[in-house]
């Protein structure tokens, strides 16, 4: 069955979808509940307007449109997409790398997008190649991720004559999908990050300028190229325009991936997920390298970069993980910190020694008593000296998580220091990857 959700004008062209609707990337899925093949995808969104952007003037127009749209990367750092495209386009024979690894354990949005709308991502990659005059596209997914099979099927459907996309499977480590780690893996087969500068957009795969974009960023690019900047800005806020995919998990009734306008009230997003499954205590924003906020603060904020910043958090990779009141936020954080310490590539001192030390100190906080008081003092100094000192931002994320836990769970922290740890510590609530089941290391 072909579904053309968007109305056709008399000349047969598709009209743009309602700009005010937050159903953009997931529109097809919400309507049909199945993955869209190429013909269904084209019937929905219209043909890929790549020839519009094929020459020098066209490229300049596309870059200007992305700038005007205000699209920011959806892989976590929120970097302006137009600025990165422009930097790469200045170099010779660029390469486009599509980051579909999704190393963040509480995020499922990239996997969901590649499952239900792979052609939106591939369209975005082809357009990014057109905008930068790149001749090579590489799509990276985690080695253990079953998404590789449907993605390969979607690739087989792409029209001949289009720039081919090479599918590469990357070791399933947390930091293996950091951008310099991807370049290093593609160059040497070792998925550990490298020092910057140079950044991949300056010197990446085979020494060429390399655009590394998250899959969701490219899917938005595919729509911006079709419908324009004004359409994109029909949803969202002035500083955070458009929609975002957000993974809602933890203690909610219907955990899953939702599409929402940026700037939407967090309470509304939780409602979409059926609301908290039990009394909520706190919400973790941005995954395991993100920020805890107490539930009463979190539900009154909005999901945008500027609103979360004002509340003392960061958007990061859009995800809301709800912690129930019965759990111990300090114990949960200690477990996650241990996981993050284990995911260090063990190349930089602050990360190799600092993260296990922070995890040890957090474990001491959970146990309470005199050792906890010493651990608290050590943490206050360690957390201020680690950020910005690794080759990649992995330790910064762990520190952000630890520092926010000490603020968010301050009353619990006082109770633990007074020798009254909470009962919730014995019942883990947050998911962690199964370490025994993880294939491969760094190569
Ligand atoms: C430890 C670490 C892990 C990362 N993992 C991912 C990932 O799984 N997927 C992703 O898109 N970006 C990830 N990033 C961010 C990438 O380095 C890069 O900024 C991103 O792919 C750029 O895409 P964007 O501009 O579209 O957001 C990670 C960064 C760090 C520091
Ligand atoms: S900061 Fe940590 S994860 Fe990043 S490169 Fe250094 S040791 Fe590896």
Are 215 and 112 within 8 A, CB to CB?
no
Closest C-alpha residue for ligand 1 atom 30: 178
Shortest-distance atom of ligand 2 to CA 355:
2
Note whether 131 and 146 are same-domain residues.
Answer: yes
Q: How confident is the model at residue 205 (pLDDT cuts 50, 70, 90)?
A: very high
Any domain includes 56: yes
Residue 74 beta carbon below 6 angstroms from any ligand 1 atom: yes
Task: Tell me the C-alpha to C-alpha distance, in Å, between residue 418 and each of 25, 335, 414, 425.
Answer: 50, 21, 6, 16
Any domain includes 105: yes
Shortest-distance atom of ligand 2 to CA 175:
3
**Model confidence over 225-244: pLDDT tens digits?**
999 999 999 999 999 999 99
Note whether 111 and 220 are same-domain residues.
Answer: yes
Question: What is the per-residue pLDDT for 3?
Answer: 44
Residue 210 beta carbon below 6 angstroms from any ligand 1 atom: no
Question: What is the per-residue pLDDT for 1?
Answer: 37
User: How many angstroms from the chain centroid is the CA of residue 345?
Assistant: 20
Note whether 195 and 101 are same-domain residues.
Answer: yes
Any domain includes 91: yes
Any domain includes 16: no
**Model confidence over 124-169: pLDDT tens digits?**
999 999 999 999 999 999 998 999 999 999 999 999 989 999 999 9
Note whether 181 and 303 are same-domain residues.
Answer: no
Note whether 220 and 266 are same-domain residues.
Answer: no
Any domain includes 18: no
Question: What is the per-residue pLDDT for 357?
Answer: 97
Any domain includes 19: no
Distance 167 CA to ligand 2 centre (A): 25
Note whether 52 and 113 are same-domain residues.
Answer: yes
Residues in contact with ligand 2 by the CB-under-6-Å rule are: 175, 193, 344-348, 351-352, 390-392, 394-395
Distance 9 CA to ligand 1 centre (A): 40
Q: How confident is the model at residue 442 (pLDDT cuts 50, 70, 90)?
A: confident
Q: Residue 140 pairs with which residues in a beta bridge?
A: 99, 168
Note whether 268 and 300 are same-domain residues.
Answer: yes
Question: What is the per-residue pLDDT for 218?
Answer: 98
Note whether 223 and 106 are same-domain residues.
Answer: yes
Distance 293 CA to ligand 2 centre (A): 26
- Ligand (nearest to CA of 106): 1
Note whether 130 and 217 are same-domain residues.
Answer: yes
Question: Among 190, 206, 232, which residue terminates a domain?
Answer: 232
Q: What is the DSSP string of 201-228?
A: TTS-GGGS-EEEEEHHHHHHHHHHHHH-
Strands 243-250 and 256-261: antiparallel
Domain residue limits at 314: 243-324
Are 273 and 90 within 8 A, CB to CB?
no
Question: What is the per-residue pLDDT for 440?
Answer: 53
Q: What is the CATH number of the domain that holds 181?
A: 3.40.50.11540
**In this structure, what is the dihedral angle of CA atoms 69, 73, 78, 79, given to the nearest 10 degrees?**
-80
Phi, psi of 222 (to 5 degrees): -60, -35
Any domain includes 4: no
Q: Which residue has the tokens 């370049």?
A: 183
């Amino acid at each position: 069955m072909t579904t053309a959700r968007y109305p056709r004008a008399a000349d047969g062209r598709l009209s743009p979808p309602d700009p005010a609707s937050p159903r953009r990337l997931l529109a097809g899925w919400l309507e049909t509940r199945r993955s869209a093949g190429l013909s269904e995808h084209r019937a929905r969104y219209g043909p890929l307007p790549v020839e519009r952007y094929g020459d020098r003037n066209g490229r300049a127009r596309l870059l200007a449109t992305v700038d005007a749209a205000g699209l920011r990367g959806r892989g976590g750092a929120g970097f302006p997409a137009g600025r990165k495209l422009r930097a790469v386009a200045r170099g010779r024979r660029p390469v486009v790398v599509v980051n579909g690894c999704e190393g963040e354990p509480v995020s499922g949005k990239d996997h969901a997008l590649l499952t239900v709308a792979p052609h939106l991502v591939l369209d975005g990659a082809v357009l990014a190649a057109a905008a930068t005059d790149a001749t090579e596209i590489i799509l990276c997914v985690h080695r253990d991720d079953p998404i590789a099979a449907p993605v390969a099927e979607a690739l087989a459907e792409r029209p001949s004559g289009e720039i081919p996309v090479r599918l590469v499977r990357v070791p399933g480590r947390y930091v293996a999908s950091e951008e310099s780690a991807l370049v290093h893996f593609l160059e040497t087969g070792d998925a550990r990050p490298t020092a910057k500068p140079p950044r991949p957009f300056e010197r990446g795969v085979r020494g060429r300028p390399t655009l590394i974009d998250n899959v969701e960023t490219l899917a938005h690019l595919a729509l911006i190229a079709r419908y324009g900047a004004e359409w994109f800005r029909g949803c969202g806020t002035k500083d955070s325009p458009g929609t975002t995919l957000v993974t809602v998990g933890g203690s909610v009734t219907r955990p899953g991936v939702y599409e929402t306008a940026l700037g939407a009230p967090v309470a509304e997003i939780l409602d979409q997920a059926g609301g908290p499954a039990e009394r909520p205590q706190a919400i973790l924003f941005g995954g395991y390298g993100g920020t805890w906020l107490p539930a009463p603060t979190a539900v009154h904020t909005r999901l945008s970069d500027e609103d979360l910043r004002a509340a003392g958090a960061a958007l990061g990779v859009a995800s809301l993980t709800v912690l129930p009141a019965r759990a111990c936020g300090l114990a949960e954080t200690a477990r996650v910190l241990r996981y993050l310490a284990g995911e260090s590539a063990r190349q930089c001192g602050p990360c190799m020694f600092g993260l296990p030390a922070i995890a040890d100190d957090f474990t001491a906080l959970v146990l309470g008593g005199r050792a906890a008081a010493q651990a608290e003092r050590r943490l206050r100094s360690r957390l201020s000296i680690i950020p910005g000192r690794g080759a990649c931002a992995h330790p910064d994320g762990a520190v952000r998580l630890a520092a926010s836990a000490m603020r968010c769970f301050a009353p619990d922290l006082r109770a633990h220091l007074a020798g009254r740890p909470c009962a919730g510590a014995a019942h883990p609530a947050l998911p962690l990857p199964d370490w025994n089941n993880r294939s491969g290391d760094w190569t």
